[in-house]
Amino acid sequence: MANKTTFGISKEKNFSEWFTQIIQKAELADLRYNIKGFLVFQPWSVYSMEKMYAILEKILQGKGHKPYWFPTLIPEANLKKESSHIKGFSPEVFWVTHGGDSEFKDKYALRPTSETAFYQMFSLWVQSYNDLPFKVYQRANIFRYDTKATRPFLRSREFHWIETHCVHETEDDAMKQVHEDMETTEEILHENFCLPFMFFERPAWDKFPGAERTFAADVLNPDGKLVQQPSTHLISQEFSKAFDVKFMDRDKKEKYAYMTCYGPAISRIFASVIIFHGDDKGLNFPWKIAPLQVIIVPIRETNEIEKEIQKLEKKLILSNISVDVDRSDRSLGEKLYFWEMKGVPLRIELGERELQKRRLTVFRRDIGKKEFVAIKDLLKYIEKTSKKIDENLRRKADNLFKNKIVNVKSKDGLQKAIDQGKIARCGFCSVDKNGNDCAEIIEKEVQAEVRGTRLDEKKNDFSKCIICEKESHHVVYVARSY
Amino acid sequence: MANKTTFGISKEKNFSEWFTQIIQKAELADLRYNIKGFLVFQPWSVYSMEKMYAILEKILQGKGHKPYWFPTLIPEANLKKESSHIKGFSPEVFWVTHGGDSEFKDKYALRPTSETAFYQMFSLWVQSYNDLPFKVYQRANIFRYDTKATRPFLRSREFHWIETHCVHETEDDAMKQVHEDMETTEEILHENFCLPFMFFERPAWDKFPGAERTFAADVLNPDGKLVQQPSTHLISQEFSKAFDVKFMDRDKKEKYAYMTCYGPAISRIFASVIIFHGDDKGLNFPWKIAPLQVIIVPIRETNEIEKEIQKLEKKLILSNISVDVDRSDRSLGEKLYFWEMKGVPLRIELGERELQKRRLTVFRRDIGKKEFVAIKDLLKYIEKTSKKIDENLRRKADNLFKNKIVNVKSKDGLQKAIDQGKIARCGFCSVDKNGNDCAEIIEKEVQAEVRGTRLDEKKNDFSKCIICEKESHHVVYVARSY
């Protein structure tokens, strides 16, 4: 019977199988929808992702971003206005060509990202330096006819994100926004979702199509691979010119504006939450984004126990804690395994013994241990423990980076480091397009990628490029990725 | 200067102009996006609609509906499975035909509604009577290539709604769900958004394509016209059969399930909120869905005033009240008119006199009057007044129905009632397809529509059909609509 509900697949030995199985067993998404790469997101993931949205939107609004809802459709002409943008995105665009029986003269894209929708409105909305910075965002679903293998949550053809778009007076202001976006990433990924990540400035060949500079957060997977998560971009001036986004400056001169954008993909970040925190027993949610924070399991069904449970439930709801009671006809053993697999942070057991002693048995999913709590102290216990759970998960995240980064000085050393699941730090000839050849050698021969440089790293302690052995101009980080 | 910020267009004399102007002046939506019928929803409407979503989702979850996110795309084959459904929707479907350069073998619809997406999953998820009722919902954007004239919020080609879908054991259970949906409508439209409405069962020729029975809430506009708002549907068994949604019943027999669906269109309901509550001075929001509940306007800029304002702001935020301070360089007169036009329920003015007397001047948008409140009593005042505001708006809504419905017994009487902006109640031959001829005469000659019958009305106090003068089998309601 336990087999029915325990999870018990080794995440370390068979990560792919573990990931596929947990999505089905925990009912995070149903993969049987009849369009390739499109998922049905089920309640257990939606509850959590809605909490993720709420946290992120509150942070963005607190930093002065205002919410918009833009159309999902973008005329082809908009996409074509900036040449590197259309070149980058056109192979991935889903095209809407007909309404009813009639064919449209010009086709419409399902937004693969919305710069070209926002920017044409910015040219109407932004007139003077007084209007700047102009900071907006939208919660939206995004469509990309991705030709790479799709993978639930990580890479699907429709996904759910927030995109922020900003207009600035100067390039300096724009770079300040990039730093603000990096701080926002720290607040969501690390402080709230307890994930380990690092920011890299991407090399020229890996920039967002239409960006001058691209900065991306790579989340570290337990297996050593990286997953690209939110990225923030300094948009090229070509874009402002193409969309005529200009303003009257303090000096009465008309100038083209500087733009930035930032795109945390909630459904993709959720993948990192599953992958990073989950274990062989199943999911394991940080407190603030748990679909359910507390599950109460009655050990027996008596009137007294039921009465006490109802009192507890009411108390928790009043304190804004999400709680449910498992009154199903599953066996007690099944219930305990089931909620462990579902990753609920706290499981409260209440039977006759607990009632007699006026104390609850509480199981903490993060450390897999039981604790005893006086009924009257429950709220205080939860307040303290919810913080401890997240601290504990964050500590796990931080520890993962220890000994993860190794300096390498030869291709052999690079290969060895990568094969051990490390992130290799090395010298590199050039991160503009001239370095692309060396990057391709790394990709083909080492099966790894140049993730970029670090903004906070000024010192270049390598003399030669790890591949061509010409002079090293940058310290880059190389790793495998999903 | 006042002209720049006062609204001052007569809603009664020139409703269309009023509606168009208020959308632009209050920055609810920008109509200049370059696809016909697609809007850019701006922050002032988005804040309010997000509050509407939160209220509705909380109610639905409280009644046992679970949230899903389904794909936006639906294969054509799904839509074709039930013949009346595809017939009803196919002229309105936006079709996705290409991904990048390659044409899809089978085209995909942008969901015009999602029965055919949900039902194929229901056939996988529902196995036994134990799984029923199965109650779900999703928040989604919907696409209809509507051939009628588009009108911002009321009828746009992409709109934002919640759709609920339920599976039931018996037709009785399904009808109970229809009644629950009607109660939900009462809770959102009347209790929370303070709108007047009536439920009608639609005649056969006006049902949802694929429904056995359709029940729709018509909101009463101040000009006497009706606007269709949430509708709930008992889905025909043809649909369960087409999608093979069946279950093993208590008697061990396999049976086809009964399904219902319900679709409150938030962006359309928002139109009714603007139209019903707005007046010649601008918008006027009910408390719970106001984009901003309190605006604080400093009468002068002194350190003491600023310090007091910051204290007040903090206090209100801690009490979960949305509040902002107008520190712009507009003149005081402009500020007062501006926030009245924006429909903020409470405007607090704070100057030296107020500070001296330790009492605030508070302007109530709903009654257009100033009240004086001791600074220390502000929270208590807001708690009480927020309720009063909504009661006041609800009373206005309820009063609108008084003397609005008139019994008519002849075509002339019908014409006169309709021309006076009334809802006519009359005898009618038949609400199945046999009555369609009489309904068409009403539409062509009286320019009005048979909105349907009332579920709570059993008595037929008319002997003859108002048009063909054959025996009356139903009491119907006739009105003009948007």
Q: What is the ipTM of this complex?
A: 0.96
Nearest in space to A60 (alpha carbons), one of A174, A193, A188 = A188
Q: CA-to-CA distance for A343 and A284, rounded, in angstroms? A: 4
Q: What is the pLDDT of residue B302?
A: 93
Distance of CA B189 to the CA centre of its chain: 7
Asked whether A77 and A90 are in contact (CB, 8 A), the reply is no
Q: Which residue of A has its CA nearest to B119?
A: A33
Q: Which of A69-73, B167-171, B191-195, B454-458 has the lowest mean pLDDT?
A: B454-458
Report residue A244's pLDDT band, with 50, 70 and 90 as the boundaries: very high
Kindly list the residues from chain A whose CB atom is less than 8 angstroms away from the CB atom of residue B75: 34-35
Q: Is a pLDDT exceeding 90 seen at residue A222?
A: no
- Please give the average per-residue pLDDT across B11-20, as a whole number: 91
The reply to whether CATH 3.30.930.10 applies to domain B11-277 is: yes
- Mean pLDDT for chain A? 95
pLDDT tens track for A286-321:
999 999 999 999 999 899 999 999 999 999 999 999
Give the CA count within 13 Å in the CB-facing half-sphere of A211.
Answer: 26
Cβ–Cβ of A121/B40 closer than 8 Å?
A: yes
Q: What is the pLDDT of residue B3?
A: 45
pLDDT tens track for B352-395:
999 999 999 999 999 999 999 999 999 999 999 999 999 999 99
Distance of CA B392 to the CA centre of its chain: 20
Kindly list the residues from chain A whose CB atom is less than 8 angstroms away from the CB atom of residue B108: 35
**Which listed CATH number (3.90.1150.10, 3.10.150.10, 3.30.930.10, 3.40.50.261) goes with A29-277?**
3.30.930.10
Percent of chain A with pLDDT over 90: 89
- Across the A:B interface, residue pairs with CB atoms under 8 Å apart total 140
CB atoms within 10 A of CB B249: 15
Residues in B 24-43 with any Cβ partner in A closer than 8 A:
30, 32-35, 38-43
A369-374: strand order across its sheet:
A323-325, A294-298, A346-350, A359-364, A369-374
Number of H helices, E strands in chain B: 15, 23
Q: What is the pLDDT of residue A6?
A: 64
Instruction: Tell me how close the Cα of B99 comes to any Cα of chain A, in angstroms.
Output: 4
The reply to whether CATH 3.40.605.10 applies to domain A292-393 is: no
Q: Is B104 on the interface with A (CB under 8 A)?
A: no
| Cβ-nearest to B95 among A41, A77, A97 | A97
Amino acid at A69: W
pLDDT tens track for B170-190:
999 999 999 999 999 999 999
CATH class label, A405-479: alpha beta
Q: CA-to-CA distance for B237 and B240, rounded, in angstroms? A: 5
pLDDT tens track for B417-444:
999 999 999 999 999 999 999 999 999 9
Q: What is the pLDDT of residue B85?
A: 86
Instruction: Tell me how close the Cα of B412 comes to any Cα of chain A, in angstroms.
Output: 40
Kindly list the residues from chain A whose CB atom is less than 8 angstroms away from the CB atom of residue B91: 100-101
pTM of the shown model: 0.96
Q: What is the pLDDT of residue A12?
A: 87
Report residue B2's pLDDT band, with 50, 70 and 90 as the boundaries: very low
Q: Do domains B292-393 and B405-479 have the same CATH topology?
A: no
Q: Which residue of A has its CA nearest to B93?
A: A100
Q: Whats the size of chain B, residue-wise?
A: 482
Beta strands in A258-368 (DSSP E): 258-262, 294-298, 323-325, 346-350, 359-364
Phi-psi region of A149 (alpha: psi -120 to 50; beta: other; left: phi over 0): beta
Residues in B 225-284 with any Cβ partner in A closer than 8 A:
none
Cβ–Cβ of B32/A121 closer than 8 Å?
A: yes
Cβ–Cβ of A75/B110 closer than 8 Å?
A: no
Q: Where are the domains of chain B?
A: 11-277, 292-393, 405-479
Which of A30, A32, A46, A94 to mutate against chain B (most B CBs within 10 Å)? A94
